[in-house]
């Protein structure tokens, strides 16, 4: 059974930090890029960050650059998202997903280039 399970979300005040974790099972993570996306109420799912299979390249949305850090541990089949200096506008459900193409050098921010997806974890930042 393919599973991506996000954890680490919660309710925090602006300026605080959270670390999201995505544990994968039932699928091969190592050869694929991994990404984090988020979706706020009434808005479309948006790209947050992505990392290539070998951690050689990382891509961030402009809105999180300098505050969020994506990393992965292929041995543990886990991808992390460290979120610092959180803002109210970071409030959303955060999803992790595996890239569609294996050993791809280039990174994409398009949701259609990712799948399968986890169920998401809620992050709420109070102003």
Span 74-92, mean pLDDT?
Answer: 97
Span 58-76, mean pLDDT?
Answer: 97
Span 64-71, mean pLDDT?
Answer: 98
Q: How confident is the model at residue 38 (pLDDT cuts 50, 70, 90)?
A: very high
Mean pLDDT of all residues belonging to the chain: 96
The pairing of strands 10-13 and 121-126 is parallel
pLDDT at 104: 84
Span 63-70, mean pLDDT?
Answer: 98
Question: What CA–CA distances, in Å, run from 97 to 24, 48, 63, 111, 125?
Answer: 9, 11, 19, 9, 23
| Residue 105 reports pLDDT greater than 90 | no
Tokens of 13: 């005040």
The fraction of the chain above a pLDDT of 90, given in percent, is 91
pLDDT at 25: 92
HSE, CB side, 13 Å, CA atoms: give it for residue 120.
12
């Amino acid at each position: 059974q393919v599973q991506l399970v996000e954890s680490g979300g919660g309710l925090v005040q602006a300026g605080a930090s959270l670390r999201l974790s995505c544990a994968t099972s039932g699928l091969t993570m190592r050869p694929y890029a991994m990404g984090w996306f988020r979706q706020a109420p009434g808005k479309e799912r948006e790209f947050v960050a992505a990392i290539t299979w070998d951690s050689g390249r990382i891509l961030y949305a402009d809105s999180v650059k300098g505050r969020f850090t994506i990393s992965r541990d292929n041995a543990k089949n886990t991808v992390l998202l460290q979120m610092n200096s959180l803002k109210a506008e970071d409030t959303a459900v955060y999803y992790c997903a595996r890239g569609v193409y294996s050993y791809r050098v280039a990174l994409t921010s398009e949701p259609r280039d990712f799948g399968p997806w986890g169920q998401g974890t809620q992050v709420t930042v109070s102003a």
